[in-house]
Amino acid sequence: MRVLVVEDDNDLNRQLVGALSDAGYAVDSATDGEEGHFLGDTEPYDLVVLDIGLPKMDGISVLEEWRRADRKMPVIILTARDRWSDKVAGMDAGADDYLAKPFHMEELLARIRAQVRRASGHASAELTCGSVQLDTKTSRVTCDGQQIKLTSHEYRLLSYLMHHNERVVSRTELVEHLYDQDFDRDSNTIEVFIGRLRKKIPADIIETVRGLGYRMSSSPDEA
Amino acid sequence: MKLNSLAFRLFVTSAAWTLFVLPLAGFLIYSLYRDDVQASFDGQLRKLVTAINIDSMESGSDKPVAPTNRYEPLFEVTNSGWYWQIKPLDTAKERKLISASLATASLPSPVEEKLKPDEGGARWMNIAGPKGEPLRIVEVVDTLGHEPDKPRYSIIVAGPLDWLDATVANFRNRLSVALTLAGLALVGLTLIQVRFGLLPLRRVERGLAAIRSGDAAQLKGELPLEIEPLKQEINALIQSNQDIVDRARTQVGNLAHALKTPLAVITNEARDDDTRFSKKVAEQATVMRDQVSHYLDRARMAARVNVIGRVTPIRPVVEPLVRALERIHRDRGINIHVSCPEALKFQGEKHDLEEMLGNLMDNACKWAHTKVWLTVTPETSANKKGNLSSDTGRNFVRLTVEDDGNGLTPEQRQKIGKRGLRLDETKPGSGLGMSIVVDLAHSYQGGLELDASRHGGLSAQLRLPTV
């Protein structure tokens, strides 16, 4: 999952990027409204954490611009202005959730998980595909009840596939959503990680659809 | 008309002036008239005395003779008040001549009283007549044939003064009646003039009342030249008042932003490790966060007090709020049912209404199973409970927020509204929401009542002033 953080306070920005990376997200960050708007407009993020009080272009305008351009990724607004008029303005501009500063990182992470889950159509915090279970809260992956140890790259890949299970996910899409913008996208690491994942979970759960990409499915034979 | 009013002042000065000037004018007119009547009476007497003088002294006889011409018929009627008398001044032997009207009486001679003559040589005196009636007499002193060395005679003519007095008194009475009527008419006119003249001020008064009740934001309409600047000043004052409040609000918001981001950084940094020091920092950062919220609320409340004439229609506030809340709680499929008549208004700030309703409804959404109700009704005497406020002179509107959750026990309801208290630590929130609602409602002389809802959950009733 790829997340954009737009926050002008350098310390808070660093903390957010750190916490989100630790939680297994690929994180890009911007420190002003214009940069944030440009990134959100051009990169396919799964979620944006957006501060309202930004230099150059305020958060509400950034959000409105995105929604006008039909960018539908979930956006969580982060702001010190916690009055209801501000919340209403934020929600009316197209925000999906609202978190007032100062906040606890755990609460932000919980809300991010909820938004990502909803965007991909899952109701529960536990994603299941066949015998594989992924708990988005604890980042634990089990297969038939046995915990499986994954590296963070492997976890990100599995998590994205499970959020979008029963759907063909192209290699490009995976690259775009799993790695931040500084990552070297020409490499063939996706295939390497798919190969490693197949060794740790039942191999046939991740199916290769030739010329299109990969699909995670509990019943691969029906495809 | 109140004692301490412009109308009263204008009326009193104007009326006092009328009441002072009219009697003075009356007295002047009366004096002039009296002098005039007196002068014409004196003229008549002078003509008579001159005629009698000529008749008696220039007859060619060696003695004065009684005038043959009657001149005044009343000279023949006894005690008529009209008399003449010719009396020698130098010899006591000679008989004096008198009119028939004088019978046996005689008139005193002013020259013997050492009275000085006027420029025509006549002497005037007011005396009591033979009957005691007031008389005016005129006397000339002359000699036979005007020869200077002959004996002198006093020629006197008397006329009754009571006739004169009666004429003057009659005039005075009629004058008084006329002037009293004129005075009343003037006072009445003054009253009308004051009312008409102060009409624009009444308009200003009504305009200010409209601003206070929120029907208008500014004083409107043409006003007379003299108070037009007043109108502009008042409008400017209202505008600057609003600007100040808005500025204060913005500053408060800026301060919040400036403080909360560093607090977020400190909090997150401190929670990252587990030392005693970082625990202390985290704990104190929480205290700071609550303090910041607390004093920002205070500042917002202080900035709000006595803002003239802000009125907020309730429906336009409710609708976006419901939209936002349904979005915030969409995972749980919360449905918000709103019943709010279009016409209802809240007398106060839009932000404050949003704040109170937002907190109450957000709470309801957190605790509800699937449904939240908002019912807004004007307060009637039937549902007035009276214990929320001592102020009885204002109208109130009742906003009831209910949910279908599990509700609260009476003990829990007692505790609600205490700052920082959270009934359920597992639900997100700072514990400040309800106390903000209570503080805000009180600052508007309203209140918050909690009860069990017929839908199973909590029923929070907010009572707020309306127009």
Same domain, A10 and A103: yes
Same domain, A28 and A62: yes
Indicate the fold that domain B7-168 takes in CATH: Beta-Lactamase (3.30.450)
Check CB contact of A107 with chain B, cutoff 8 Å. yes
Rounded to an integer, what distance in angstroms lies between the CA atom of residue B174 and that of residue A176?
114
Q: Select from B253, B268, B323 the Cβ nearest to the Cβ of A92.
A: B323
Chain A stretch 178-217, residues whose beta carbon is closer than 8 A to a beta carbon of chain B: none
Entry field: residues in chain B? 467
> A35-49, A146-160, B254-268, B304-318: lowest mean pLDDT where?
B304-318
Same domain, A64 and A131: no
Same domain, A188 and A166: yes
Q: Which amino acid is at B162?
A: D
Using alpha carbons, select from B318, B416, B319 the residue that is nearest to residue B367: B416
Q: Which of B261, B284, B286, B362 to mutate to test the interface with A (most CBs of A within 10 A)?
A: B261
Residues A78/A52, Cβ–Cβ less than 8 Å: yes
**Which residues does chain B have within 8 Å of residue A87's beta carbon, measured at their own beta carbons?**
324, 328, 358
Report strand pairing: B97-98 vs B122-128: unpaired
Same domain, A86 and A191: no
**Which residues does chain B have within 8 Å of residue A98's beta carbon, measured at their own beta carbons?**
328
Q: How many CB atoms lie within 10 A of CB B176?
A: 14
Check CB contact of A124 with chain B, cutoff 8 Å. no
Place of tokens 């005196």: B125
* Contact criterion met (CB < 8 Å) for A84 and B354: yes
Which among A101, A119, A137 is the end of a domain? A119
Give how many domains chain A has, as a whole number: 2
Same domain, A34 and A15: yes
How far the first Cα of chain A sits from its last, in Å, is: 25
Beta bridge partners, B128, equal B134
Q: Which of B251, B252, B265 to mutate to test the interface with A (most CBs of A within 10 A)?
A: B265
Same domain, A142 and A103: no
Distance from CA of A123 to the nearest CA of B (A): 8
Q: Which amino acid is at A217?
A: S
Interface contacts (A, B; CB < 8 Å): 85
Report strand pairing: B371-378 vs B335-339: parallel
pLDDT one-digit tens code per residue, A167-190: 888 888 888 888 877 776 665 778
Q: Which of A13, A79, A101 to mutate to test the interface with B (most CBs of B within 10 A)?
A: A101
Same domain, A149 and A77: no
Non-local CB neighbours of A45 within 8 Å, separated by 6+ positions:
A2, A3, A4, A28, A39, A73
Chain B stretch 308-337, residues whose beta carbon is closer than 8 A to a beta carbon of chain A: 320-321, 323-324, 327-328, 331
Residues B449, B455, B457: CA angle, nearest 5 degrees: 55
Which among A119, A137, A158 is the end of a domain? A119
* Contact criterion met (CB < 8 Å) for B263 and A92: no
Same domain, A110 and A28: yes
Q: Tell me whether the omega of the peptide bond preceding residue A102 falls within 30 degrees of 0, making it cis.
A: yes
CATH of the domain at A170: 1.10.10.10
Domain ranges of chain B: 7-168, 228-302, 310-466
**Which residues does chain A have within 8 Å of residue B271's beta carbon, measured at their own beta carbons?**
104-105
CATH of the domain at A92: 3.40.50.2300
pLDDT tens digit at each of 467 positions of chain B: 677 888 888 888 888 888 899 999 999 999 999 999 999 999 999 999 999 988 888 877 778 888 877 788 888 888 888 999 998 888 777 788 888 888 888 888 888 888 888 888 889 988 888 888 899 999 998 888 888 888 888 899 999 988 888 889 999 999 999 999 999 999 899 889 888 988 888 888 888 888 777 667 788 888 888 888 888 898 898 888 878 877 877 787 777 768 888 888 888 888 777 888 888 888 888 888 888 877 777 776 666 655 556 788 899 999 989 988 888 888 788 889 998 888 888 888 888 889 889 989 988 898 888 899 999 998 865 455 544 444 456 788 999 999 888 877 777 777 765 655 555 555 555 555 777 788 888 888 888 888 888 888 888 899 988 87
Non-local CB neighbours of B72 within 8 Å, separated by 6+ positions:
B48, B82
Q: Residue A49: its pLDDT value, please? A: 94
Residues A153/A193, Cβ–Cβ less than 8 Å: yes
Same domain, A7 and A114: yes
Q: Name the token pair of B30.
A: 């009366």
Q: Three-state DSSP class for B103?
A: coil
**Which residues does chain A have within 8 Å of residue B282's beta carbon, measured at their own beta carbons?**
none
Q: How many CB atoms lie within 10 A of CB A144?
A: 11
- Domain containing A23: what range? 2-119
Rounded to an integer, what distance in angstroms lies between the CA atom of residue B64 and that of residue B88?
9
Same domain, A38 and A113: yes
Using alpha carbons, select from A173, A211, A215, A221 the residue that is nearest to residue A194: A215
Same domain, A109 and A171: no
Architecture of domain B310-466: 2-Layer Sandwich (3.30)
Which among A119, A134, A157 is the end of a domain? A119
